[in-house]
Amino acid sequence: MYKTIKMLLYLLAIFFTDFAYAACTTSAGPGKILTFTLSNYTPPSFNPTVAIGTVLYTQTLNVNGAGTVNCPGGVRKSVYQGVSTYGAYNATYNTYPTSIDGIGIRIGPAGSFWPVLPPDRGSNPTITYSAFNIPFALIKTGPITAGGTLSGEVAGIWVENYATQVVTINWAGAVVVQPVVPTCTPATSSMTVNFGSHSAASLAGIGSTTPPLPFNLTLNCGGGSAGSNTRVYITLTDLSNPSNISNTLSLSADSTAKGLGIQIQNNGKLISYGPDSTSAGNTGQWFAGSAMNGIFSIPLSANYIRTGSIAAGTANGKATFTLSYR
């Protein structure tokens, strides 16, 4: 048994020797990889209704940077490829997903789209990288309903049989991508929903509500290419208490009633409040629907809800709303 174990350990040691490369180092310094940058990428606005697979924009960019990589175990096989945190590589269009739905980025000239595999450098320990020019194209890969920005890492280079990243390629600044989709504005600068009068007896206990009162939030949308649409998201903010993230609107300071709040619903679903922000995923943000050029009407309803001991009087609430598009 002792001899068998000894032989197995010996064979394992031989097996792993070929893969136990010493860590690569770069001229950027200990523990650092080389950083290359892209700048002056300026896509114009475009019609988002073109066919999937269409090249929306292409521009040859200088990938700016330089440096040396040393791998004691050999550079071996390497790969130049895109980087995306938004999904997997799309082999149909040779694209990497971007932060903008329906738009991928394709790197390289026709017939040599990334990822590309340069010749195997074997045990050669050193390789030098310098600036180079290469096309970057935006490709329509799905429905496009909003614009956005491209930023951060977009590609890189890996060595040691694709195991070790030694170069990162980054946008030097935010790249603005502008499909010609509709934008919307409120039909009126303010609106009033009149609840009328209610008796305290109709709200028998905490949590009881008055019947919902329907109303519409109307937006005028335009400026989009014919047939285009945009996904409209809304955040309601409690003007009397901007930190409110519940689904009950506070009574405003001019109210004399007590023990009441106001709820707003969209298609029977209670809406929660959130901070005044257009950021995607903002607290309280909800999807209102897809808008095309023209009038976009959002069905809502409002009701009182009992929150405590009721004191008769006026019960008013004030809220603002913020639009964002995705």
Q: What is the pLDDT of residues 74-122, one digit of tens each?
A: 999 999 999 999 999 999 999 999 999 999 999 999 999 999 999 999 9
What distance in Å separates the CA atoms of residue 250 and residue 264, rounded to the nearest whole number? 12
Q: What is the pTM of this model?
A: 0.85
Q: Of the CATH numbers 3.40.50.2000, 2.60.40.1090, 3.30.2000.10, 1.10.286.10, which one belongs to the domain with range 183-325?
A: 2.60.40.1090
Given the structure tokens 């074997």, which residue do they identify? Answer: 122
According to the model, what pLDDT value does residue 18 have? 40
According to the model, what pLDDT value does residue 114 have? 98
Sheet holding 103-107, edge to edge: 55-63, 132-140, 103-107, 96-97
115: preceding bond cis by omega (within 30 degrees): yes
CA distances (Å), origin 227, targets 43, 194, 219, 293, 296:
21, 37, 18, 8, 15
According to the model, what pLDDT value does residue 22 have? 62
The percent of residues above 90 in pLDDT, for the chain, comes to 91
- Burial tier of 209 (Cβ tally within 10 Å: 0-12, 13-18, 19+): middle
CATH code of the region 25-177: 2.60.40
279 phi/psi in degrees, rounded to 5? -60, 140
Question: Which residues of the chain does CATH 2.60.40.1090 include?
Answer: 183-325
Banded pLDDT at 294 (limits 50, 70, 90): very high
Banded pLDDT at 12 (limits 50, 70, 90): very low
Whether the Cβ atoms of residue 54 and residue 143 lie closer than 8 Å to each other? no
What distance in Å separates the CA atoms of residue 169 and residue 75, rounded to the nearest whole number? 19
As a whole number, mean pLDDT of residues 41-61 equals 98
Banded pLDDT at 55 (limits 50, 70, 90): very high
Given the structure tokens 């990162």, which residue do they identify? Answer: 168
CA distances (Å), origin 13, targets 19, 163, 179:
11, 21, 58
| Token couple for 34 | 């080389």
According to the model, what pLDDT value does residue 16 have? 35
- Mean pLDDT taken over the chain: 93
